[in-house]
Amino acid sequence: MIGVREREFMYIYDEYYFWSIAHQLLVKHEFNLLQVNEQNQEVWLEKSMQKKSVVIRLYLRSFDWANHVKQDLATVMQRVSNIQKALKHKDITVHNVYVAENGPVDDWESLKKPHKLKDKKNILVQSYYLEESVRNSELNRLFDTLNLTGPNMSVDEKDPEETANQVHRLKHQMMKYHHQKKKEIESLFTYGKPRFTYFLLAVNIIMFYLLSTTPGGSTDTKNLINWGAKFNPYILEGEWWRIFSSMFLHIGGLHIFMNMIALYYLGNTVERMYGSIKFVCIYILAGLFGGMASFALNDAVAAGASGAIFGLFGALLFFGLVNKKLFFQTMGSNLLFIIGLNIFLGISVPSIDNSAHVGGLIGGFLAAAMVQMPKRKKALIQLSSFVLYAVAMVGLMFYGIEQSDTSNSPQTAAVLAQEYLEEERYDEAIDLLSVAIQENENKNELLYFNRSVAYYYTNNMDNARSDLETVIEINPEFAEAHYNLALVYSNLDLYDQAYEHAEQAVKLKPDQKDWVDFKEQLTEIRNSLN
């Protein structure tokens, strides 16, 4: 018979094997520690392997009967089901490992086969019983299944006291390693405080308030241009500061709301990771890069912090390049999905300036490579990313200048034509709008409307009438077109047609007193002629 003291020695050796396996998986094979229960001698570890969550449960416990093992397996399955949401992958493989001196006295081989949960087929549980007689073969089976190198464990059975000390050291090393890793991860996300994030939020909100309270508000194109929106013709005249100023203007309440929500969450994360100064550099450089990309690839009037905000996505992608494992453990898949979704929306929705988004993403990545993560300095990467950023910016600038010679955006033409009309440069307005109308397949009501105004003031009533009829054909609810057409018909002495359109204009906008008065004048003229 085995004495009590000898049984204690055997337990110490089992304990050594147990903690050696746990130590090997944690330190050498970089599993994550989910839970440790020293009192019950139970350890749970986890790692992503081949797009699956691999969970290892180590349990230092003897079972006399197979039925007891079966009951414990049911507990394991329940616990895995409870932690499923905390694991990265949907498919989960659980390796349930028992370490004990002896196995159950009855047959338990059927329990070694992989088991799936009845209601969750994506969870597979496989058991191993490392009893003394088959310990090495079972241990090899476990590590072969994991496709890992098995531990090389040797124990001096003549010195149980030294073995007990080794167990203590293994536990201490594991806990120290775990806390050190945890501290390293926490330090990555707590390096800085989000001071400038709140400052940028305040600046954007104040600018939106000021813009919204001026005549025309935040959705009026001319007002946006006056406040510094990106407008290619003015940039080409030397107003390059618009690339910067447009970062702090927003078009409508929904636009600023969505951008400020994104800035709050992304800004908090990136500023904590990179520190305030580097965060500001990334934000500004990304915004400038996105603005320049918009200048080169999109000739419409544009404004918004989207390019700079996408730059924060780029900074997180650079973090992922530097810390691949931690990136995918924390935010990787979700971040890539959000970026992909936003780019897809940018392609699908015409009003979204996708060039600024993608440009900001690239600019933010390069800016993050320039400033580097805290406590990391790689001069070659910093220099090469700076050169690449500068070359790309210059390339986009020259490409934008070249494209401007062949670009006839309806929006750009309409804005410039409005300026010409205000300055009474009617012939220039007609030339500009005629080219834009000819080169754009889709009829644009504003182009025809503005050209009709120029024709009217150059006393070309027939052309003015033709353009206004086209406008009303495109948009029958365009009240100003009806009113102007009434004026044109009146000049052509066609008072019945003039009255018809004046009446329609007043129906659409009954609060316009001048229109009502003009309609009454036409009524008097018609009555006098009858």
CA angle, 364 then 365 then 369, to 5°: 110
The catalytic residue among 23, 255, 357, 482 is 357
DSSP string covering 288-355: HHHHHHHHHH--S-B--SHHHHHHHHHHHHHHHHHSHHHHHHHTHHHHHHHHHHHHHHHHH-TTS-HH
Token pair recorded at residue 57: 């449960």
CA distance 245 to 303: 8
CA distance 13 to 156: 9
The rounded radius of gyration (Å) of the Cα atoms in the chain is: 36
Token look-up 């490392």 returns 130
- Would the CA dihedral through 223, 226, 230, 233 be positive or negative? positive
| The residue type at 179 | H
No. of H helices and E strands in the chain? 22, 6
Cα torsion through 44, 49, 51, 52, rounded to 10:
-30
Token pair recorded at residue 415: 């804005």
- Is 306 among the residues known to form the active site? yes
Residues making up the chain, counted from first to last: 530
Q: What is the spatial order of strands in the sheet that 115-116 belongs to?
A: 32-37, 42-49, 52-60, 92-99, 123-130, 115-116
Contact 124, 116 (CB under 8 A): yes
CA distance 279 to 364: 10
DSSP string covering 22-43: HHIIIIIS-PEEEEEETTTTEE
CA distance 524 to 263: 61
The catalytic residue among 306, 355, 385, 490 is 306
CA-CA distances (angstroms) from residue 458 to 423, 428, 430, 470, 490? 14, 12, 10, 19, 16
DSSP string covering 206-234: HHHHHHHTSTTTTS-HHHHHHHT-B-HHH
> Which residues make Cβ contacts (< 8 Å) with residue 133, sequence separation at least 6?
102, 103
Element housing 129 (H / E): strand 123-130
- Catalytic residue list: 306, 357
